[in-house]
Amino acid sequence: MRYFPVFIDAQNLQCLIVGAGEVAARKLELMLKSPANVTVVAPWMCKTVQRYDGHPQVTLVHRTFEDNDLAHKNMVFVATDDEALNARIHTLAKQQKVLVNVVDNTPLCQFITPSIIDRSPITIALSSGGVAPVLLRYLRQKLESVIPANISRLGDFSEKFREKVKQSLNGVTARRYFWEEVFDGDIAELVEKGQTEKAEHQFSLALQAAATDKKPEGQVYLVGAGPGDPDLLTFRALRLMQKADVVVYDRLVSPQILELVRRDAEKIYVGKSKSNHSLPQDEINLLMVNEAKKGNRVVRLKGGDPFIFGRGGEEIQTLIKHNIEFQVVPGITAASGAASYAGIPLTHRDHAQSVMFATGHLKNGTIELNWSALAHTNQTVVFYMGLTGLPVICEKLIEHGLPSNTPIALVQQATLSEQKVVTGTLADITQKPETAALKPPTLVIVGTVVSLHSQLDWFTPGKS
């Protein structure tokens, strides 16, 4: 480790920047994330640097560098095109014990600026010692995607309660285990979401429980798993899946997504298919309640979005009835995912000015819907769970006024490599051999936007 990583207190730091081009401007902007005072010396200054004229932390000096510019400085960035000047400033700075960084010249750097992920008071610095900047940017992107944007709130929260935890729990190990539970659990999620009052209440209960070796009640997260492709999960969904003690999942959660669940979490399948419910809805609701009361962090993983034909509202009502804390994490609903991956825009100025979602689930041999509201031109209608009732859907839409040649698409296994799209019209779709081969989950899209599929299809496997 050639470069020793260290964080410098910038409260009274005096920084000099020699040069005022765009490279120097980036160093200036970086330093202004801290309380440091910055002096910029250069005969010419770019517009970015000029914008900081009058800034309370910035002094702009319009002239060439002079040796006494280093007086009373703690660090200096050198960003000029004059190699001789850069080398001279490097030598002077070392003689005067001023930390020096000559931009893009690692041998003349006593320190280097790392790649920074700023979530103040949490700051993460990455460095390759100047040898692999592209790899560094790649790693930073990866970290940015998994570190919550609001983790700074968690830093402030930790500072607020640090002393209280020290007073309540004896020993470094006990305190470390407690904080790990907090950071990995429901309290951290509440803090990140800005629900401070709830978080502080739960923190108090958790600290009490830790002091008496009792486990507090857990929480339930209703998480939308999206239409199937794991790349379409939200960051928050993935984070919670990897924290869960218990995962209750349904039939529409793809195996690829289930693979991302924490390895040692208990996985409970509660999927439903036509006339075959592995567990009735009421029992699913109580299952979540009971697991949370045991102190478990429960993720209720649902295909698509929990609030769009996902019975999320019913499940929440049960949780409220039993005083179980919960949160909802939206997911990409099947209609949006299927349409996007099939190249069928749900709205289009030339085709559809509105879109409606409806359930095609059969009840007593019929589908009870407001057909007259659904059978409109210049509108897209998406039927969830509509494959079994497809003949009824086509018949009713024609009966209530849609032309029999209205385009219709069936999208099976949307967003996955097994995706299949069958198109036709209301009049002929049920007679197509390809339709007979389809199986759930299949989404039904009706409207003239379907005519754009052949032109806009970008995903269908095997298409050149």
Please tell me the distance from the alpha carbon of residue 5 to that of residue 90, in angstroms, as a whole number.
21
Please tell me the distance from the alpha carbon of residue 250 to that of residue 247, in angstroms, as a whole number.
10
Two structure tokens written together for 259: 């693979």
For 360-441, where are the alpha helices, taking DSSP H only?
A: 371-374, 390-399, 433-436
Kindly give, in sequence order, each residue whose CB lies less than 8 Å from that of residue 43, ignoring residues fewer than 6 positions away: 62, 63, 64
| Residue with token string 């928050």 | 236
Please tell me the distance from the alpha carbon of residue 394 to that of residue 374, in angstroms, as a whole number.
11
List 73, 250, 302, 305, catalytic entry: 250
- For the chain, the straight-line distance linking the first and the last C-alpha, in angstroms and rounded, comes to 49
| Cα-Cα-Cα-Cα dihedral sign, residues 286, 292, 293, 294 | positive
Backbone angles phi, psi at 408, to 5 degrees: -145, 145
Residue 250: active-site member? yes
Annotate 242-257 with three-state secondary structure: CCCCEEEECCCCCHHH
List 193, 198, 272, 432, catalytic entry: 272
Burial of 258: CB neighbours in 10 Å, binned 0-12, 13-18, 19+: middle
Name the nearest CA neighbour of 58 among 45, 67, 49. 49
| Residue with token string 């007259």 | 372
Instruction: Determine the Cα angle at 131 with ends 133 and 83, to 5°.
Output: 95
With beta carbons less than 8 A apart as the criterion, state whether 331 and 236 touch: no
Q: Is 298 helix (H, G, I), strand (E, B) or coil?
A: strand
What Rg, from alpha-carbon coordinates, does the chain have? 30
Name the nearest CA neighbour of 19 among 8, 11, 27, 29. 27
With beta carbons less than 8 A apart as the criterion, state whether 76 and 98 touch: yes
| Residue with token string 């081009």 | 21
Please tell me the distance from the alpha carbon of residue 235 to that of residue 214, in angstroms, as a whole number.
31
Residue 305: active-site member? no
Tally the residues of the chain: 464
Q: Is 106 helix (H, G, I), strand (E, B) or coil?
A: helix
User: CA 242 from chain center: how many Å?
Assistant: 13
Please tell me the distance from the alpha carbon of residue 222 to that of residue 237, in angstroms, as a whole number.
9
Catalytic residues: 250, 272
